[in-house]
């Protein structure tokens, strides 16, 4: 993945990182603002440092994001963007 974004940083020229929300088994979640629309989003970024089997875990991360992107329900986050490099915006 590269370096972990910092609070206040512009990530991928699309998102301003506002706050760290949490870390999981293979991802880091930030509260961010999507610059193009000024929409507040949760930005989940794959973190290969947390996942020793990064190729397998990255594929699982992307499958999960793609599966969520086709669902629409009030109790499931809406996925706005999936990037093959391992970031998901909800």
pLDDT digits (tens, 9 = 90+) for 23-68: 877 788 999 999 999 999 988 887 766 655 667 777 888 888 888 8
> What is the pLDDT, as a whole number, of residue 1?
46
Task: Determine the Cα–Cα distance for residues 10 and 72; give it in Å rounded to an integer.
Answer: 29
Q: Output 9-14 pairs: Cβ under 8 A, ≥24 positions apart.
A: 10/35, 11/43, 11/45, 12/83, 12/87
Residue 70 has pLDDT above 80, yes or no: yes
The pLDDT, as a whole number, for residue 69 is 85
pLDDT at 6: 92
Query: Model pTM?
Result: 0.76
Residue labelled with tokens 């020793």: 52
**Does residue 83 have a pLDDT over 60?**
yes
């Amino acid at each position: 993945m590269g370096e972990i974004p910092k609070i206040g940083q512009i990530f991928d020229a699309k998102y301003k990182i506002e706050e760290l929300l949490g870390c999981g088994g293979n991802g880091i979640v930030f509260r961010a603002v999507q610059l193009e629309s000024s929409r507040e989003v949760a930005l989940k970024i794959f973190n290969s440092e947390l996942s020793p089997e990064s190729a397998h875990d990255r594929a699982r991360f992307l499958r999960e994001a793609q599966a969520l992107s086709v669902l629409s329900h009030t109790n499931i986050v809406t996925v706005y963007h999936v990037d093959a490099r391992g970031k998901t915006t909800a």
